């Protein structure tokens, strides 16, 4: 429960009042399913004495995820970044690959780490997803692929990106780290492009502590990815493919199986929080809540608000006020991957091609949501924002 009611600026912690919450409210607080069920599975793992290397829990997890997403293959991994790297390598991408800058930096890192140049294309400022027209502008003779990101769980422009890929003979894959349970045109994400990559990190709405997966309907690709995940081993003593160690461990799969059973509740709770924020922030000048595509399901993983120039407070002032109240709001993914040192050094003028990315990066705030939100927290957080946004400093 919040400790106070916010009625005026005098009630704000930045002005010396006690914070609204005793304990920090995190963006990305893990959702933890049925503890007893998880512990039963852990005991089973210990009894089995099979801790990793494609054990029974991972196999069950892969089968359940594939069924849940309606896709032929799910290859579970130790985290989303390694899953991206392995997928990129299995697709034999090289040269340049087009990605948004407006994403977590891992999307670009997974390419750059393998000597591939991430070329940043701009986004649609309304959806925050790659703008297909901007993708077209970034194609060069060195381009071999496109990685679309379903940012904030909202499906990317899948059909348009696929059309561009087909036209230019490029490979298309998706970073679906935010999109577990989201849909595109009525179909569950996980089946689009050559493959899709999920993150099941602790901070994701569905988590396996750390974890990730590549999903695909392509048998040969799935087979190559399975080999690459386990050093290229095909049986004992026989390596038939270059590879690395991308394996998910049994305890992570146990967490995943448990959380999968409770995922519907997480989504319902997050939908409720999103609706409550939308209504509580509706009349605050200069503040808008990013709406989810009403035509599709969303993972409801993030609550994203935008602070317009017309607002009486800046985005950074609002974030500072929230943090003083113990509301650890974030500015994901400010300032954009193109402004992070490795990529700024590589492309010092990338911003010229990314006006929408730069515009959005200055506006966003990500607010806490998830199962651990205390009662009345959404209203109090919205009140803090409302008071900040109605007073010029
Ligand atoms: N592609 C995209 C689009 C992604 O968003 C990500 C990951 C990836 C690829 C790569 O997938 P992974 O390799 O991570 O599986 C976090 C996550 O570490 C990262 O997984 C996620 N995206 C990114 C958006 O957020 P940080 O550096 O912001 O995390 P951190 O440590 O600041 O934690 C966030 C908040 O959550 C904090 O307030 C603390 C709280 N927290 C965190 C953990 C780990 C908890 O309360 N409990 C916890 O156990 O990156």
Mutate to test the pocket of ligand 1, among 83, 100, 104 (most ligand atoms within 8 A of CB): 104
Q: Does 106 sit in the ligand 1 pocket, CB within 6 Å?
A: yes
Strand 117-121 and strand 96-100: the pairing is parallel
Closest by Cα among 90, 159, 147 to 117: 147
- What is the whole-number distance in angstroms between the Cα of residue 203 and the centre of ligand 1? 5
- Which pLDDT score is estimated for 35? 97
Backbone angles phi, psi at 304, to 5 degrees: -110, 125
How many of the other CB atoms lie within 10 Å of CB of 302?
25
Ligand 1 atom nearest 332 alpha carbon: 24
Whether the link from the prior residue into 333 is cis, omega within 30° of 0, is yes
Q: Could you read off the pLDDT of 86-133 as tens digits, one per residue?
A: 999 999 999 999 999 999 999 999 999 999 999 999 999 999 999 999
- Which pLDDT score is estimated for 393? 55
Ligand 1 atom nearest 175 alpha carbon: 1
Closest by Cα among 66, 77, 134 to 110: 77
* Mean pLDDT (whole number) for 228-238: 95
Confidence grade of residue 296 (pLDDT, cut at 50, 70, 90): confident
pLDDT at 69 over 90: yes
Mutate to test the pocket of ligand 1, among 82, 203, 204, 248 (most ligand atoms within 8 A of CB): 203
Angle between helices 56-69 and 35-48 (to 10 degrees): 140
Q: Could you read off the pLDDT of 355-369 as tens digits, one per residue?
A: 999 999 999 999 999
- Which pLDDT score is estimated for 301? 84
- Which pLDDT score is estimated for 112? 98
Q: Does 203 sit in the ligand 1 pocket, CB within 6 Å?
A: yes
Domains of the chain: 9-31+262-389 (3.90.1150.10), 35-258 (3.40.640.10)
Confidence grade of residue 2 (pLDDT, cut at 50, 70, 90): confident
- What is the whole-number distance in angstroms between the Cα of residue 27 and the centre of ligand 1? 9
pLDDT at 195 over 80: yes
Q: Could you read off the pLDDT of 310-344 as tens digits, one per residue?
A: 999 999 999 999 999 999 999 999 999 999 999 99
- What is the whole-number distance in angstroms between the Cα of residue 201 and the centre of ligand 1? 7
Q: In the chain, at which residue ranges do the beta strands (DSSP E only) sit? A: 25-26, 73-77, 96-100, 117-121, 143-149, 171-175, 183-184, 187-188, 196-199, 212-216, 287-289, 303-307, 327-328, 364-367
Q: Does 326 sit in the ligand 1 pocket, CB within 6 Å?
A: no
- Which pLDDT score is estimated for 295? 81
- What is the whole-number distance in angstroms between the Cα of residue 197 and the centre of ligand 1? 16
pLDDT at 392 over 70: no
Ligand 1 atom nearest 79 alpha carbon: 15
Nearest CA to ligand 1 atom 47: 29
- Which pLDDT score is estimated for 372? 86
- Which pLDDT score is estimated for 142? 98
d(CA 6, CA 192): 46
Q: Is 212 helix (H, G, I), strand (E, B) or coil?
A: strand
Ligand 1 atom nearest 30 alpha carbon: 47
pLDDT at 181 over 80: yes
Mutate to test the pocket of ligand 1, among 178, 201, 319 (most ligand atoms within 8 A of CB): 201
Task: Give the rounded percent of residues in the chain with a pLDDT score beyond 70.
Answer: 99
- Which pLDDT score is estimated for 333? 97
């Amino acid at each position: 429960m919040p400790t106070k009611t916010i009625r005026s600026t005098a009630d704000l912690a930045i002005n010396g009042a006690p914070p609204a919450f005793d304990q920090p409210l995190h963006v990305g607080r893990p959702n933890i399913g049925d503890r007893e069920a998880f512990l039963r599975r852990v005991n089973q793992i210990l009894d089995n004495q099979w801790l990793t290397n494609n054990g029974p829990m991972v196999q069950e997890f892969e089968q359940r995820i594939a069924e849940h997403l309606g896709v032929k293959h799910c290859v579970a991994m130790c985290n989303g970044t390694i899953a991206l790297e392995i997928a990129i390598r299995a697709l034999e991408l090289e040269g340049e690959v087009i990605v948004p800058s407006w994403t977590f930096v891992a999307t670009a890192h997974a390419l750059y780490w393998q000597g591939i140049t991430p070329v940043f294309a701009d986004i649609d400022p309304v959806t925050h997803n790659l703008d297909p027209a901007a993708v077209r502008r970034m194609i060069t003779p060195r381009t071999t692929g496109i990685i679309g990101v379903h940012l904030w769980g909202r499906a990317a422009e899948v059909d348009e990106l696929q059309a561009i890929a087909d036209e230019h003979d490029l490979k298309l894959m998706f970073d679906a780290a935010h999109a577990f349970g989201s849909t595109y045109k009525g179909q569950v994400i996980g089946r689009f492009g050559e493959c899709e990559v999920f993150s099941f990190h602790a901070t994701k709405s569905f988590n396996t502590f750390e974890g990730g997966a590549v999903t695909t309907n392509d048998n040969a690709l799935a087979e190559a990815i399975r080999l690459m995940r386990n050093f290229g081993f095909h049986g004992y003593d026989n390596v038939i493919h270059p590879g690395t160690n991308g394996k998910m461990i049994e305890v992570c799969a146990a967490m995943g199986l448990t959380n999968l059973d409770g995922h519907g509740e997480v989504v319902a709770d997050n939908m409720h929080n999103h609706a409550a924020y939308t209504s509580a922030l509706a009349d605050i000048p200069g503040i808008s809540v990013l709406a989810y595509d009403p035509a599709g399901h969303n993972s409801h993983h993030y609550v994203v608000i935008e602070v317009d120039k017309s607002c009486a407070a800046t985005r950074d002032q609002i974030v500072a006020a929230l943090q003083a109240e113990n509301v650890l709001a974030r500015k994901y993914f400010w300032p954009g991957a193109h402004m992070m040192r490795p990529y700024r050094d590589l492309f010092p003028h990338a911003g010229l091609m990314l006006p929408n990315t730069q515009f959005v990066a200055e506006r966003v705030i990500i607010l806490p949501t998830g199962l651990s939100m205390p009662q009345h927290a959404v209203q109090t957080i919205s009140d803090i924002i409302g008071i900040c946004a109605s007073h010029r400093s």
